[in-house]
Chain A
Amino acid sequence: MSAAKTFRVLPGFNLTLGYTLGYLSLIVLIPLAAVFLKTAELSFGEFWNVVTAPRVVASYKLSFGMSLLAAAINAVFGLMLAWALVRYTFPGKKLIDALVDLPFALPTAVAGISLTALYAKNGWLGQYLDVLGIQVAFKPLGVLVALVFIGLPFVVRTVQPILEDLDTELEEAATSLGARRWQTFRHVILPILLPALMTGFALAFARAVGEYGSVIFIAGNIPMVSEITPLMIITKLEQYDYTGATAIATVMLILSFILLLVINGLQAWTAKRTGRDR
């Protein structure tokens, strides 16, 4: 120990770190390790057969593809919503602000059922979309709608505080230097919001990948078309094929982890590039 120990107002590094690690192990690491252990009961060949079955592969594509797309859509519209909530005053602003969190609070099954009722061929919205030849419910598009719905709050809530701190003087400085509106957004505002936006994107994506309740109702669960990976796991469980279920779960875990790692890496990279880490 060095003699000049850093003085801290609130002590307890050892205690908090120990507690955090213990807690994390209990809640997260041990259950995850169990998934890998259970999977290890399979030989590699068996494992490979389970996780590359055509139906399962189709479900990966749907789950990860739609989750990324939904997170991207939420990034764009969540940013717009956060912008409107921070920058303008309008009647009902508080109400809308509260509504943003509703997808968090609503049981996902309720969301799924109401979305299905809304977008089914004879639903309020579905009947008009059907005339246009657009089918939402029981199609991959329906999965997307559900994932957008449940992921909405993440981007709004991560971007909102950064926007509130954002000084309008920066925009004024940019215009006084001759920047057009788009340039001000692209070169001044967006780079400042980007880390928060990416965090929101990552959270929305992670949530969407794991989402089950709201999706299964609207997806229709047609093999090879609208089955999501969590449904494949449940299906295996219902057939008492526990190792099969954990095998798919393992693949999901690894893929999700890689994607989140990439997003975090990107975030660190932008932070470095823009001098925020110093």
Chain B
Amino acid sequence: MSIQVRNIRKQFGAFTALDDISLDFPTGELVALLGPSGCGKTTLLRIIAGLEQADGGQVLLDGEDASDTHVRDRQVGFVFQHYALFRHMTVFDNVAFGIRMKPRRERPSEKQIADKVHELLNLVQLDWLADRFPSQLSGGQRQRIALARALAVEPRVLLLDEPFGALDAKVRKELRRWLRKLHDDLHITSIFVTHDQEEALEVADRVVLMNHGHVEQIGTPEEVYRHPATPFVYGFLGAVNFFHGRVEGEGLRVGDDHLLHAADDFGQGAEVIAFARPHELDIAVGADANQGIPARVSRVLSFGVTARVELDGLNGATGQHFEVELTRERAAELALEEGQAVRLLPSRLSIFEQGHAANAAAAGARK
């Protein structure tokens, strides 16, 4: 089933949680709502579910206005961050809950319920836990039971609110892969909320990036990562280095230094901010002083597949920190030492006009 939201607005007192949001969620897709905490993503999810009322706008389920439909009649499966399992019921009874609450004439026999529950428990690979109580389960198991419970009522859409937020890193990764596989098997329209960009990029068909109650960008994980539409998206999706500068001649002037880069889209003298991912920066030793940004090596971390170099800015960029990712060969070739003065040369730069770029820097700095 498709979901559309039209001009959704929501205020909490003076705080605007959602400001005129319109989105389409096509049938059968797994979409991630991604953004920092307080960006309105959970509120949007709860409005779609009917757990929260919007101040204005519409929610269309399968093209029909659902704004006045009660949660229990919307046929949405909702999975909570903290599982919200009924702790006084066994796993079996938790999963059977939705079916047992149906009006008597729609309710299947206990035998049919049992079959259905065991089928769902097999689907989440936890049939052997049917007689346990939620308190006897690990976090990852609880969340899978919560999912089975939501699926028991055969929802038309599945909404997951930070489903892996309360789990540790290893279980998270496992469940992510598992959720993706489950979705590929069931093809139920699903939306999940997360603040973890890696999770969103890894699991979702499409990613909706939100910030301050606005949608910043919508696209496939590939699109949003390769071509961030706004400085915020750039800063939010992964580590980033940024330079404040001014367009001058054939390049950018950053403090006293110069970066060669075409900036045709901007007028001469425009104040801009340029972004480069760690792997898009190279380090030059003893290079031409007219090029690149001067920096001092503060730490070299070479335990992984790639080597990471942390640097402190010099001159105009004093007080700023940079992160560069090099191949091991390149790192060996440079033989960097701590305290060494070098210059940073970007191989690729994304340039945005100064102004609304400021919050991207903030998002980048938070990482």
Contacts and interface: CB of A to CB of B under 8 A. Distances in A.
B83 to A, nearest CB: 9
B135 A275 contact: yes
Interface in B155-196: none
A181 B73 CA distance: 13
A175 B49 CA distance: 11
Contacts of A188: 86
Q: B73, B76, B77, B101: which has the most chain A beta carbons within 10 Å?
A: B101
B89 interface: yes
Contacts of B78: 172-173, 176
Given A167-B84, A192-B88, A278-B136, A179 B101 contact: yes
Interface residues of B, number: 29
A178 B84 CA distance: 15
A169 interface: yes
Nearest to B82: A169
A170 B72 contact: no
Interface in B37-79: 49, 51, 70-73, 76-78
Interface string A162-182: 000001011011111111100
A234 B86 CA distance: 50
B72 A179 contact: yes
B150 interface: yes
A192 B134 CA distance: 14
A193 B39 CA distance: 35
Given A176-B71, A179-B72, A275 B153 contact: no
Contacts of A192: 87-88
Contacts of B97: 174, 177, 179, 187
Contacts of B348: none
A20 interface: no
Given A170-B86, A176-B49, A178-B153, A183 B80 contact: no
Interface residues of A, number: 21
Interface string B100-113: 01100000000000
Contacts, number: 77
B27 interface: no
Contacts of B85: 173
B342 to A, nearest CB: 52
A87 interface: no
Contact of A170 (B73, B84, B90): B84
Contact of A169 (B76, B84, B150, B152): B84
B82 A177 contact: no
B316 interface: no
B132 to A, nearest CB: 8
Q: B84, B85, B98, B153: which has the most chain A beta carbons within 10 Å?
A: B84
A187 B101 contact: yes
Contacts of A177: 72, 97-98, 101, 149-150, 152-153
A169 B86 CA distance: 10
Contact of A172 (B84, B133, B135): B84
Interface string B142-158: 00000001101100000
A171 to B, nearest CB: 9
Given A192-B87, A192-B88, A274-B88, A173 B102 contact: no
A48 to B, nearest CB: 46
Interface in A159-213: 167, 169-170, 172-180, 183, 187-188, 191-192
A276 interface: yes
Interface in B94-137: 97-98, 101-102, 133, 135-136
Contacts of A175: 51, 70-72
A169 B90 CA distance: 18
Interface of B: 49, 51, 70-73, 76-78, 80, 82, 84-90, 97-98, 101-102, 133, 135-136, 149-150, 152-153
Given A177-B150, A179-B101, A274-B88, 13 more contacts: A167-B82, A169-B82, A169-B84, A172-B51, A177-B97, A178-B98, A187-B97, A274-B87, A274-B133, A275-B135, A276-B87, A278-B133, A278-B135
18 contacts: A167-B82, A167-B84, A169-B80, A169-B82, A170-B84, A173-B80, A173-B85, A173-B86, A175-B72, A176-B71, A176-B77, A176-B78, A176-B150, A177-B72, A180-B72, A187-B86, A192-B88, A274-B133
The 9 nearest A-B residue pairs measured at CB: A275-B133, A274-B88, A177-B98, A173-B84, A169-B84, A176-B78, A179-B101, A191-B88, A178-B72
